[in-house]
Copies of this chain bind each other. A is one copy, B any other.
Amino acid sequence: MHRESLLQLFEQLRTGAISTEQAADTLTHLPFEDTGFAKIDHHRTLRSGLPEVIYAAGKTPEQTAAIFQRIAASGVNVLATKADAAHFAAVQTLVPGAEYHALAQCITLRQAQQPRHEGTIAVVCAGTSDLPVAEEAAITADLFGGNVLRITDVGVAGIHRLLAQRPLLQTADVVIACAGMEGALPSVLGGMVGVPVIAVPTSVGYGVAFHGITALLSMLNSCSPNTTVVNIDNGFGAAYTATLICRGQQKK
């Protein structure tokens, strides 16, 4: 499509509809707009057909709300991650329809019909403390059009609890595995399923858990070759990639 618009542009030029100067200008004109402190890029949405996402942690409530409102105005669904109560309060003032998910620290706005894909994304977590990250993944995966399967509290020290979930796990197209501490869950899960496992280290634990670093290192060393890894507590990123995997499957 990009090439098509290029050819179209050149056709306009060849036929004299636009000048060479105009052509050169147009060529560098790309669909993002400037809000002063942030260039909102509608490109990704156009290209991916997915909701717009705001990473709230590094922004003030006011910045977050302004960006949220600007995007919402274009009619698409919106997701803000790592948003605390103050972020939500600011957003809600400008966009009353926004919804807050306290455990997952997410703000969502559903105003458009998001096309569903047929894939099933299992979001598995090792312990109660991993739930915030798992929920971020689950809410993202759901908002992005997938079927979400939540399986919680199946740490490897009670291996029978995990094995009991095998039938359920085998219905998934992708597995997102969230774990802190020793981060062993993806290795065991990886051996139980024949689909990609996206490992999300969580900042759960104490002492040499190092706020998720040990889990991260453990996951990168997984002896299950169907495992890939994202940043600590990055449930959103895992769900984003999981969605692309499922959508790719659907497309074919």
Contacts and interface: CB of A to CB of B under 8 A. Distances in A.
Interface of A: 2-3, 6-7, 10-11, 13-14, 16, 20-21, 23-24, 27-30, 32, 37-39, 41, 43-44, 47-48, 53, 57-59, 63, 82, 118, 126-129, 131, 152-161, 163-164, 166-167, 173-174, 181-184, 187-188, 190-192, 194-196, 198, 201, 203-210, 212-234, 236-238, 240-241, 244-245, 248-252
Contacts of A244: 194-196, 226
Contacts of A159: 159, 163, 188, 191-192
Say whether chain A's binding surface is mostly helix, strand, loop, or mixed: helix
A233 B29 CA distance: 32
A156 B154 contact: no
B228 A241 contact: yes
B221 A205 contact: yes
Nearest to A192: B159
Contact of A14 (B20, B236, B240): B20
A196 B17 CA distance: 40
Contact of A181 (B43, B213, B222): B222
Contacts of A223: 126-127, 155-157, 181-182
A158 B191 contact: yes
Given A164-B28, A248-B173, A226 B208 contact: no
